[in-house]
Structure 1
C-alpha cells in the first residue's frame, strides 16, 4: 500500500510540474505559440511522459472533469428540485467552495480559452462530455426516451455555465463567478 501512495504522489507531482511549466511558457509566449515538446522540455520530462498525463495540450488548460468532486456537490442538492435548479445549485456550490488560489488559476485558464480558438473547441468538447458526467451524477439514464428531455436540459444548463465562465474571464474576474452563474440560469429560465 505504501508503494502505491508513493507512486500516486509522484504522479501528482509530475502532473503539477507539467501544468506549472505549461502555464509558464503560455504566459511567456502565448498559448498558440507553444508546442507539447516545449512544455515537456520546460518540465524536464519527455514528450511521451507529457502524453502519459495529458491527451492534448488543450487538456492542460481544460482537464477532464473530476466526477467524484462533481458528484459530491450534486449529491447534496435535494432530488425534489427541478433539474435546472439542482444543476444551478450544484454548480454554485462547486464555485463557492473554491479557495482564492484555485479561483485565480481557474480565471487564468478561462482567460486563455477566450484567446484561443483551439481552446474554445476544447471547451465545447468538455461541455459535451460533462453532459454524461452530470447525467450519471444526477442518476439520469441518458439513453432512455425519458432521459432525452433531461439531456437537453443538462446541455442547456452547461451552456449557461460556460457562458458564465466566459463572462467572468472577459471581465478579468471582477464579478463573483457564482453571481454570473445565477444570472446565466435566470436568463435560461426566462426562455
Structure 2
C-alpha cells in the first residue's frame, strides 16, 4: 500500500505540473511572456502561486522545463552499443521526436518552441538546457573507457555537441514551417547534411 500511495502522489504531482505548464504556455502565447505574471498562471491553473513555484522555481522554468533528456537517454542506452556513436545518438533522437510529436502534445511543443525563439530571456536560458541534454547523452553512452580515458570522453562530448547542433537546426526548421514538416524526417535530413548519407533513417511511423 505505501508504494501505491507513493505512485498516486507522483501521478498527482505530474498531472498538476502538466496543467500549470500548459496554462503558462497558453497565456504566454496569448498575452506575451513579459505581460503574464506567475499569479496569472496560478489562477488559470486553479492553484496558488506557491504551488506554481514549488513545481517551477523560476518563471523561465514554466516554459523550459521538460523531461526530454531522460527520454533521449533511455533510447540511446537501448541502442546497440556496437553502432557508430553518431548513428546511435541520431536514431535515438529521431525515435524520440516521433514519440513526442506523434500525439496530442504536438501543438504544445510548437507553442513552447515559438516562445523559446521569440523571448530573449528564454533563448539565453535555453543554453543551459542544451548543456543538460548533452550531459544526459554523454551519461547514456558512458562506459569504462569514457570514465578512464580523457580522449574517449572528449570524443563522446564532441559527438554529442555536433548531434545537438544538427537537432537544433531541424527543430528551428520545424518551427519555421509551423509544424507542417515532420520533425523526425527533418532530424534525419539534418544528420545526413552534417554527417553523410545513411547516418540515420527517419522513423518509419512518421507521416
TM over 0.5: yes
Q: Deviations over 1:58-90 (max 9, x none)?
A: 222221435542233223322122211111111
Q: Which of 124-133 and 19-28 deviates more?
A: 19-28
Q: Which of 103-112 and 70-79 deviates more?
A: 70-79
1:100 to 100, 103, 109: 103
Gap runs ≥5 in structure 1: none
Classify 1:151/1:109 alpha carbon distance in 2 versus 1 (closer, same or farther; 3 Å): same
Task: Report if the CA contact (8 A) 2:167-2:187 is conserved.
Answer: yes
Q: 1: distance between equivalents of 2:51 and 2:167? A: 33
1:134 to 134, 137, 150: 137
4+ aligned runs moved over 4 Å, structure 1: none
Gap runs ≥5 in structure 2: 197-207
Q: How does 1:110-149 map to 2 (within 5 A)?
A: 110-139=113-142, 141=146, 144-145=149-150, 146-149=152-155
* Match of residue 156 from structure 1: 162
Q: Give the 3-state SS of the residue equivalent to 1:97 in structure 2.
A: helix
Q: 2: distance between equivalents of 1:143 and 1:53? A: 37
Aligned Cα RMSD in Å? 2.1
Classify 1:67/1:27 alpha carbon distance in 2 versus 1 (closer, same or farther; 3 Å): closer
Q: Give the 3-state SS of the residue equivalent to 1:78 in structure 2.
A: coil
Q: 2: distance between equivalents of 1:104 and 1:6? A: 28
Number of residue pairs the alignment of both structures matches: 190
Task: Report if the CA contact (8 A) 2:80-2:88 is conserved.
Answer: yes
Q: Give the 3-state SS of the residue equivalent to 2:172 in structure 1.
A: helix
Classify 1:96/1:142 alpha carbon distance in 2 versus 1 (closer, same or farther; 3 Å): farther
* Match of residue 7 from structure 1: 9
For normalisation by structure 1, the TM-score amounts to 0.88
Task: Report if the CA contact (8 A) 2:29-2:115 is conserved.
Answer: no
Q: 2: distance between equivalents of 1:185 and 1:143? A: 29
Task: Report if the CA contact (8 A) 2:29-2:111 is conserved.
Answer: no
